[in-house]
Chains A and B, each alone.
Chain A
Amino acid sequence: MKLKAMLIAGAMSLAPMTAHAADLTIGFSQIGSESGWRAAETTVTKQEAEKRGIDLKFADAQQKQENQIKALRSFIAQGVDAILLAPVVATGWDEVLEEAKDAEIPVVLLDRTVDAPDDLYMTAVTSDLVHEGRVAGKWLADEMAGAKCDIVELQGTTGSSPAIDRKKGFEEGIAGNDNLNIVRSQTGDFTRSQGKVVMESFLKAVGGENICALYAHNDDMAVGAIQAIKEAGLKPGEDIKIVSIDSVPDIHLAMANGEANATIELTPNMAGPALDALEAYLADGTKPAKWIQTESKLYTLKDDNMAIYEMKKDLGY
């Protein structure tokens, strides 16, 4: 299904410019599809373009910068109205961005930024990783309302920027609450299986009855940890509160079953704000800010998690 869609999209981007073009033609150079979130971002970007009647030319770079540069050059040669770029690495973009600037084609960065002079791109739409962690910490602080709570933390891949920033943000979020303490913190490599293995060791090293809450840097590790908690005979979501980040479909399913308590969305809809800014700029020259921060929305048990799961599960996560 997805493969077919990708092939069609690939074929479309290769096809010569069609005469019956919509009002706007925008090129989108995507990194690839290394994670479910990335696949969802691609799906949502296509939906957002379709909704606005924009002709989106999609190019999948398969994790290679040279493919992205090639795609950008082909977009410039085709004379698109604007370019969306999700850069695979931070460096080495100056030359091709210069070419786009000379051709007066605005470039909007999605999800990640680049190390280049900021006059070479119009704006960057990204999430704030520290802020995500802070929202998670604040939620737990409010939830516990002063009650004593020992927290275990499942970190992302050691040294990766999401792991560093989400840890920092969470610590800021719970700062000033003496009742909240992180008693154990270990990496689960952002994967389900490591999340489960590390949670097993937490449950034995600290004792399941002494753990009040789990903070996981992504939902996948939380999903693994939920299984470990269940196998230890405890009730995830009740005996141990669980808060994690990303808002992937499976965590909403767990929340619908009362096995997880909160998740903070890393929205795959980076294209929505980007296209809004572009349309405004192309219509009357309104320059957007250099950084558009996406919303880090908090989902709790109060939301209709089953509906969110149904809505999200077909996005390609």
Chain B
Amino acid sequence: MSAHVHSTFRRIMPQLIILIAVLFLNFLVFPDFFRIEFQHGRLFGNLIDVLNRGAPTALLCIGMTLVIATKGIDLSVGAVMAIAGAVAASLVVDGHSWQTALLGALAVGAICGLWNGVLVAVLRIQPIVATLVLMVAGRGIAQLVTEGTILTFVNPGLIHLGAGTVIGIPTPILIWIALGLLVTAVVRKTALGMLIEAIGINESSSRLAGINSRVLIVSVYLISGFCAALAGVIVAADIKGADANNAGLWLELDAILAVVIGGNSLLGGRFSILASLIGALIIQSVNSVILLSGMPPEFNLVIKALIIIAILVIQSPTVKHALYILRASAEPLPSDPIKEAKESPQ
């Protein structure tokens, strides 16, 4: 068991170091960054904001990690968020309870995921093309649901999911942590995670080995759709309205980036949901640096690009290898160099 914890820790080490570095950058531009207060019945502070505002990306990257592990990709998650938000809002506006609205939105998200999964696993359409269909069409569907307006609602139950708190902690934080733990437990306490990795490494041989790859691929897209729907409900609840034009816009790219920063290969295979989640927090911390620095908005994307490039360069196999050589020449060889080489991405 302690060996397991040790290997997990080694896996997420680079991400943790980057996260700490970016948080330190936040501290440099805004010395009060780490201060957390309890006021007006809720925890209040920049660190809480990072955890709270990172919720949509964190939720998306849970599903996205599994999809990417099967060598797939899901471009539709941003649009699915818009659809789910629209469905939830229209249900409460029509007088249904928030529970019905939440279940309805999650069901619609799962159906969207099922659609993607069938296109990829049954019709064998390339994932990037298959999910592009819903990415483009999804926002139109969401606009049909909201009739083109920002559909506002006042249902306190639904609003609580996005803007409320549970024992002082904003609800979205609890939701993404809980779902992250749940999915990690399901894929790691069973053989599911290993089977998903097998599909990503070589689908044909995994099928020959008796893995029902079709069902598994459909399931990962379904989970991705479900996660996206949950993110969509949270985003809508946060602003008390479903904004079909803007909800989740470009968030699929942030989710993919979070998975990549998490050290997962886009070519499929081994994955770590925990590392992806830290990746999502890194992205949100970078956003936080930009907002707190007070720089003119013209610099936003430049700063973000520079930080992200730095992170990816540090993680690149070439740089990792160079560091490894450097370390190896300085001190005696580590006990198991082959294992270390295996753990680097690709």
Contact = CB atoms under 8 A, between A and B. Distances in A.
B46 A191 contact: no
A2 interface: yes
Given A186-B291, A205-B30, A233 B147 contact: no
B243 interface: yes
B149 A316 contact: yes
Interface string B122-149: 0000000000000000000000100111
A197 B52 CA distance: 10
A191 B243 contact: yes
Interface string A152-188: 0001001100000000000000000000000011110
B292 A201 contact: yes
A306 to B, nearest CB: 16
B49 A192 contact: no
A201 B296 CA distance: 14
A192 B30 contact: no
A36 B163 contact: no
A233 B39 contact: yes
Interface residues of A, number: 37
Contact of A187 (B149, B246, B297): B297
A186 B303 CA distance: 14
A47 interface: no
A227 B154 CA distance: 13
A191 B288 CA distance: 18
Given A204-B32, A233-B40, A33 B148 contact: yes
Interface of B is mostly: mixed
Contacts of A204: 30, 32, 45-46, 49, 292
Contacts of B300: 158, 187
B298 interface: yes
Interface string B41-65: 0101110010001000000000000
A145 to B, nearest CB: 28
A186 B235 CA distance: 21
B270 interface: no
Nearest to A207: B32
B150 A231 contact: no
A67 to B, nearest CB: 16
- Band of interface residues on B: 20 to 34
B240 A227 contact: yes
A284 interface: no
Contacts of B163: 227, 231
B155 interface: no
A27 to B, nearest CB: 23
B149 A317 contact: yes
Given A184-B294, A193-B239, A227-B240, A200 B49 contact: yes
Nearest to A183: B294
Given A227-B163, A231-B163, A232-B44, A2 B148 contact: yes
A201 B238 contact: no
B150 A192 contact: yes
B241 interface: yes
A186 B239 contact: no
Nearest to B29: A205
Contact of A250 (B40, B42, B150, B291): B150
B165 to A, nearest CB: 9
B288 A35 contact: no
A253 to B, nearest CB: 9
Contacts of A232: 40, 44
A34 interface: yes
A96 interface: no
A193 B300 CA distance: 17
Interface string A231-269: 111000000000000000010000000000000000000
Given A2-B147, A3-B144, A186 B32 contact: no
16 contacts: A2-B148, A155-B297, A158-B298, A185-B297, A186-B294, A187-B300, A191-B243, A192-B241, A192-B246, A196-B239, A200-B53, A201-B49, A204-B46, A227-B238, A231-B42, A250-B152
